Every structure is written in structure tokens, then in C-alpha cells.
Amino acid sequence: MAADGGMTKILRDIWLKRAILWHFVSAELTSSYRTKSLGFLWALLDPLLFMGVYYLVFGRLIAQREPSFMLHLFVGVISFRFLNTAMGQSAGILRGQAGLIREIAFPRASLPVAVVLARLFDFAAGCLVAVPLALAFGVSVTRYWLLIPALMVVHTLFVIGISLVVAYVGVFFADIANILNVVQRLWFYMSPVLYPLSLIREKAVGSGHPALYDVYRANPMVGILGTFEATMMRGHLPGRDAVLYAVGWGLAMFLVGLWAFSRVEKHVAKYL
């Protein structure tokens, strides 16, 4: 079987059996929200509440930055929550569903993909909350905000890709979750969320090693967050290079994820 055959087969199988994918997505959302008294309202309340905390800490206590910084912080945090929860859940999803995997032949990749889509629901709810937040912080909501769904698609492709890789590794190594915790924390602090990107540029230039800035920007999340930043905070289209960089990472990660998963999909049941 050609390497490519396995990758397109994964997508085709998920699509042909999309009823199974939707089943997993709705089961995932149900278990996240149904047990709570406010149900799906939590998808909106949760980002509002943690934004309240960040507002107190970063808006009042530490530094009085420009109002758009609070929106920058918000978008960064929900983007990372999407990435981190999807990766974290994907790490154990195949082991967790071992009983089912050994019983019934359904497309295995639909498990991690469903996890990502359920967390995409949270992320989309967060993006909705961003609208009133922007108004509250005095950031104008321009027509470029209509591009946000497209930016979310790019980010989702990236998250699906990385979650497939994590799910693949998780089949063989039960302790992946512990390593992920450290990696995710480092990744978060190495990305412009708690501080603006301009801070890194100033420091790099100031230190006499402007190349460090380029190294920092190699981080795919810098590119992906940059597209949100330009659209939402700066009120203009992201530059062509920024778009190409973000889309490139999204597609590349998606393909790497498919490739990794295609190597193990046939044999997952044996290793669980």
C-alpha cells in the first residue's frame, strides 16, 4: 500500500462513517457539559470567568497595558486551551477506548478527531465571547472579523495533526501525558500570550542578536496567533507571509498527523 494510500484512506473512512464521528463528538460534549447544572452555558461562562482572573492580574495588578492587550491575552489563552486540551485528551483516548477498539472495527482516527472537534466547540464559544469582550475593552470589531472562521480552520488543522501524532505515541507510551504537561507549559510561555510579540523583538534587537527574534518566530503558534492578532486587534488583513506561514504549518502538521496515524491505525487493536 502506498504511503499516500493510508493517509487518504483515513480521511475517506472518517467521512464514510461520519455518523460515528458525530457520535463521539456528541458523547464528548455531553460528558463535558451535561453533568453541570448550567450545561452548555459553561462554554460561554468559562472563558468569561478566566478572563476575569486575567483581567485582575494583568489588567489591574501587574501592568496597565493598552486595552487591546486584554483581547490579545484572551485570544492567546483560548487558542492554547484548544491546543492543550485536545492534545491532552488525545494522549489517552485510544487506551481509554481499548475495549471498544478490540470489539468493533470503526475508523480509529475518528476518536482523536472527535476530541479535537469537541474542543473546537469550546474554542468557537470563546471566539463568540471575544466580540463583547472587544467592545468592553474598546477594541473596534471590524469587517475583518468575518475572517475569523477561516483562521479557526487553519488552527484546527494544526491541532488535528498534532493530536493524531500524540494519539499515535500514546498507544505505545502511557507516560506521554506527563511529558506533554511540561512541553505544553514551555510552549505556552515561549509564545506571545502573556506578553506582546513586540516585547521579544525589542529584547532581541536590544541584545544585539536580532536573529533570536527569527528563532522565536519559528514557533508555529507565533504564526497562528499572529493571524488572529492582525485581524482582531489591529483591524487589518494579516500579511501574505503571515498567512502563508500559518497555513503552511496547519497543512504540514495535518499531513504529518495523518501519516503518523496511518502507520499505526491497522495495528492499534493489537497494541492495546
Partner 1 sequence: MPSTSEQPAAGAATAAVTGADQAAIALEQVWLRFSLRYYRKRLTLRGTVLEGLSAALRRQGRQQVQDFWALRGVDLSVKKGEVVGIVGPNGAGKSTLLRVIAGIYGADRGKVQVRGSVATLLSFGAGFDPRLPGRENVYKNGVLLGLSRAQVDGRIEAIVEMSGLGDFMDAPVNTYSSGMRARLGFSVAVYANPDILLIDEVVAAGDERFRNRVGTIFDQFSHQRKTVVFVTHQVAQLSQYCTRGIWLEEGRVHMDGAPGEVGAAYVEASRAGR
Residues from 64 through 123 that contact partner 1 (CB under 8 A): 99-106
Minimum Å distance from CB 270 to partner 1?
A: 6
Q: Does 15 bind partner 1 (CB under 8 A)?
A: no
Q: Does 146 bind partner 1 (CB under 8 A)?
A: no
Minimum Å distance from CB 140 to partner 1?
A: 44
Cα 185 from Cα 79, distance rounded (Å) = 14
In this complex, which beta carbon is closest to partner 1, that of residue 12 or of residue 209?
A: 12
Which long-range contacts link 190-196 to residues 24+ away (Cβ below 8 Å)?
190/216, 190/219, 191/76, 191/80, 191/219, 191/221, 191/222, 191/225, 192/72, 192/76, 192/222, 192/225, 193/72, 193/73, 193/76, 193/77, 193/80, 193/225, 194/58, 194/73, 194/76, 196/65, 196/69, 196/72
- Out of 179, 186, 237, 244, the only residue in the binding site for partner 1 (CB under 8 A) is 179
In this complex, which beta carbon is closest to partner 1, that of residue 11 or of residue 212?
A: 11
Q: Does 174 bind partner 1 (CB under 8 A)?
A: yes
- Kindly indicate which of the ranges 18-26, 35-43, 144-152, 225-233 contains the residues binding partner 1, using the contact rule CB under 8 A: 18-26
Minimum Å distance from CB 119 to partner 1?
A: 21
Q: Does 176 bind partner 1 (CB under 8 A)?
A: yes
Q: How many CA atoms lie within 13 A of 225 on its CB side?
A: 29
Please work out the total of residues on this chain that contact partner 1, with binding judged by CB under 8 A.
25
In this complex, which beta carbon is closest to partner 1, that of residue 20 or of residue 252?
A: 20
Q: Does 177 bind partner 1 (CB under 8 A)?
A: no
Q: Does 34 bind partner 1 (CB under 8 A)?
A: no
- Out of 140, 146, 172, 182, the only residue in the binding site for partner 1 (CB under 8 A) is 172
Q: Does 185 bind partner 1 (CB under 8 A)?
A: no
- Out of 185, 209, 236, 266, the only residue in the binding site for partner 1 (CB under 8 A) is 266
Q: What are the residues binding partner 1 (CB under 8 A)?
A: 1, 17, 19-20, 23, 27, 99-106, 172-176, 179, 266-267, 269-271
